[in-house]
Amino acid sequence: MLNFSLWRQRVSDRAAHHRVWVLAFPMILSSLTVPLLGIVDTAVVGHLASAHYMGAVAIGSLIFNFLFWGFGFLRMSATGLTAQAFGQNDEHAIRTILWRSLLLAAILAFILLLLSPILLSIALHWLQASAQVEPLAAEYFHIRAWAVPAILMRFVIMGWLLGLHNARGTLWILLLVNGLNALLDIIFVVYWHYDVVGVAWASTIADYAGLLLAFYLARKQLQLYKINNAPKVSWITLFNGREIWQLWKLNQDIFIRTLLVISAFSFFTAQSATFGDTTLAANTVLLNLVLLLAFALDGFAHAAEALIGRAIGRKDRLQFKTDVWITGLWSVVSGVLFTLLFCLSGHTLIRWMTSITAVQQVADEYLIWLIISPLISIWAFWLDGIFIGATRVVILRNSMIVAIVIYSSVWYLTTAWANHGLWLALLSFLGARGLVLALSYHWIERREGFIVG
């Protein structure tokens, strides 16, 4: 346990605060470009002649968001492994992690392309698209599918750059992808009238432009850290069976964890729909604000990934402890600020997002859940970053399984409370994640510690 004077000494370390913000600020900005792109997509399609176009883009985007969010493990594993190699000054390992992770991304992209017709059929059946929307959604999907290799490999390079503490590189990549996507949306749809096809091609072209920039930045990064002087990665090293299996095991556990997160939020949306269209719309408004919170807090989680990984690679216990406390401090500060924002301006934010009076009234009724959500969810976001940086992903997976069980149990016990019960279940899920990870952190520190040797 830390005494107060030692804790105060660590949190007053200005250099440590600077390290956190150098990484967190670009990641917060880059994360916020994602919802802004969604607004542009909705705006350009929303002004077309038929609502069918908006429905097609919404369904197509939902399918791809599900796939790509699920494969976000490629970024997470690359960050944790690279940060540790960076801390060890192991230039050969840094290069090997990049190429081996890119190889895995390419293999997964090839498999997804082969399975894309089956995935589309399942998704359209599950989402029950109308006869007018289904062919448009399929057309959108077939074009966007060609972007899969670019997106998965971009995930790897972004994670690799973050592991080397180059958060600005990831910011530039996302600014290019989302900025170019928005510009091409306007050109293809508003001026050239390509409708759904235009939206799909805008995204696909932007994704490959982002990959080109990612490769350029990776090359610059290799030169910056003089990694070009390290021994070259041979094919034998790259295809080392034991190393590939360890990389897959690492990614597999993060993949399971991510799928459970997606399932939890998908279940929330599906259950919201059973309460009627108005409640579904109100929950969507509130959930979008929760996701805005998640994007902001992810900046500190990403900083924790890179800082913790490097400290473990260096076997620097003091830096590890300091980085844990500083990232935790700023996560808590952010959570408190968001709670104040939602408390003081929640009604205004709801009215900015919808002009429908009935939806506003229902959202106001459940606003209290949004207000308390930051103080409950910050712990899971922050500790996620620590465990990813430490590559202790089995604990991440297991904590998510426990949280899902608690989520299901709370919902089963509170179904009579209708939407209030659903919100209680969701916040129980978020709180359980943080609690299990906190207990796991304490248990590891009491035993061998995160830094062994």
Contact 45, 90 (CB under 8 A): no
DSSP letter at 156?
Answer: H
Q: What is the pLDDT of residue 267?
A: 87
Both tokens assigned to 452: 């062994």
CA distance 396 to 254: 7
One-letter identity of residue 277? D
CA distance 264 to 271: 11
Contact 189, 198 (CB under 8 A): yes
Q: What is the pLDDT of residue 216?
A: 97
CA distance 12 to 9: 5
Both tokens assigned to 406: 């608690």
Residues 6+ apart with CB under 8 A from 383: 434, 437, 438, 441
CA distance 383 to 434: 7
SS3 labels along 131-154:
CCHHHHHHHHHHHHHHHHHHHHHH
CA distance 306 to 109: 26
H or E element, residue 33: helix 14-46
DSSP letter at 187?
Answer: I
CA distance 256 to 397: 6
Query: CA angle 429-64-399, nearest 5°?
Result: 25
Altogether, the residues listed in the chain come to a count of: 453
Contact 385, 304 (CB under 8 A): yes
Q: What is the pLDDT of residue 32?
A: 72
Say how many C-beta atoms besides its own lie within 10 A of residue 351's C-beta.
16
Convert the pLDDT of each residue in 325-367 to its tens digit: 999 999 999 999 999 999 999 999 888 877 778 888 999 999 9
CA distance 395 to 375: 22
Residues 6+ apart with CB under 8 A from 83: 162, 163, 164, 165, 305, 306, 307, 308, 309, 310, 312, 313, 389
CA distance 131 to 39: 26
**Which long-range contacts does 260-268 make (Cβ < 8 Å, 24+ apart)?**
260/400, 260/401, 260/403, 260/404, 261/400, 262/66, 262/69, 262/70, 263/404, 264/403, 264/404, 264/407, 264/426, 264/429, 266/66, 267/407, 268/422, 268/426
CA distance 187 to 321: 50
User: What Rg, from alpha-carbon coordinates, does the chain have?
Assistant: 22
One-letter identity of residue 350? I
Residues 6+ apart with CB under 8 A from 422: 268, 271, 272, 275, 283, 411, 414
Query: How do the domains of the chain map onto residue ranges?
Result: 1-27+246-453, 48-239
Contact 298, 27 (CB under 8 A): yes
CA distance 183 to 197: 15
In angstroms, the Cα distances linking 274 to 12, 66, 306 are: 50, 21, 42
Contact 146, 201 (CB under 8 A): no
Q: Scanning the structure block, which residue is given the tokens 């990484």?
A: 23
> Could you tell me the mean pLDDT of each successive run of 10 residues in the chain, 453 residues long?
57 79 87 66 64 69 75 90 92 89 93 91 75 84 93 95 94 92 90 87 95 96 68 66 74 89 86 85 84 82 93 91 92 94 92 82 95 95 94 94 97 96 97 97 90 73
Q: What is the pLDDT of residue 1?
A: 46
H or E element, residue 395: helix 393-413
Contact 185, 199 (CB under 8 A): yes
